[in-house]
Amino acid sequence: MQTKPFRIGTRGSPLALAQAHETRSRLMAAHGLPEDMFEIVVLSTKGDRITDRSLALIGGKGLFTEEIEAQLSSGELDFAVHSSKDMPTKLPEGLHLSAYLPREDIRDAFIGRTAQRLLDLPQGATVGSASLRRQALIRRLRPDINVIVFRGQVDTRLGKLAAGEADATLLAYAGLKRLGKLDVPTELLDPVSFPPAPAQGAICIESRVDDDRINGLLSAIDDRATRAAVSCERGFLATLDGSCRTPIAGYATVEGDHLQFRGMILTPDGSQFHEIETSGPADNAAKLGETAGQAIRAKAGAGFFESWG
């Protein structure tokens, strides 16, 4: 019988806290537990502290998880809640992604200050984004646009936009929805022409592989369709690179036992890109993603990847 609260690790941004609260609420409902049986432990990560440079320059995705995973491995935390797209494809020894919450909207939201739609921006407009994928996709559609680095929490980026530092920015629609900012987007971008980051819109929970008690607790809220889709996308990502240094997009959809996947890789300037589609059984999700990654790598040829160096 558990007598002390379960300790949930999270970053301290409003979005990270909203995700931790959603996880706590689902666990309370699934197990009939009171709120005081869960303690949300806020940790500062290197990725949160360094906001003046792109992730590609300071070390990639692990910067948002390192401190949290250290406490998870040591037993100071029982489990941790993350945005799935922030997770490196290789986790520390002894840790795994043990549950996924039902996925939110996968699309990117365009927030325009001088135009309502990306394609309506004036010639030479400035768009702020720290994501290499978004930067490449913007340049693919609008080579004339000047892209600058926008990092920081959602409100920080929106504040920079309001101050006139850019004509527009892009954010994940899932995050805006979780923060109740439904009135912020001026356009929702089509995932076919502007595909999302792998795992975008999905909340994952990380725990110790050998902690059967915690893994049993979390299994009650694991969403099978989200797990399959994200496993496919992470398989694609891992085969190609999986860091924040490369423009990679992709998303899977699951209907019943069937999975459909679309992936894209781009050069950073958006001038070249390759797409791939595949489908198969959802219980073979990770392998489908890996195979798609291998196929698109062969299709692009070695020269394509020189720009990723």
Q: What is the pLDDT along the chain (309 residues), one digit of tens a residue?
A: 677 999 999 999 999 999 999 999 999 999 999 999 999 999 976 655 555 555 555 555 566 688 899 999 999 999 999 999 989 999 999 999 999 999 999 999 999 999 999 999 999 999 999 899 999 999 999 999 999 998 788 999 999 999 999 999 999 999 999 999 999 999 999 999 999 999 999 999 999 999 999 999 999 999 999 999 999 999 999 999 765 678 999 999 999 999 999 999 999 999 999 999 999 999 999 999 999 999 999 999 988 888 776
- 86 is a catalytic site residue: yes
**This prediction's pTM:** 0.92
Cα separation of 146 and 135, whole Å?
9
Decide: 171 and 106 in contact? Cβ < 8 Å. no
Scanning the structure block, which residue is given the tokens 């840790």?
Answer: 95
Tokens for 13?
A: 């941004």
Helix (H) or strand (E) holding 206: strand 203-208
98: buried, middle or exposed (CB in 10 Å: 19+, 13-18, 0-12)? buried
Catalytic residue, candidates 36, 52, 78, 86:
86
Which residues are CB-neighbours of 101 under 8 A, at least 6 positions away? 22, 23, 26, 202, 203, 204, 205, 221, 223, 226
Sequence letter at residue 161 = L
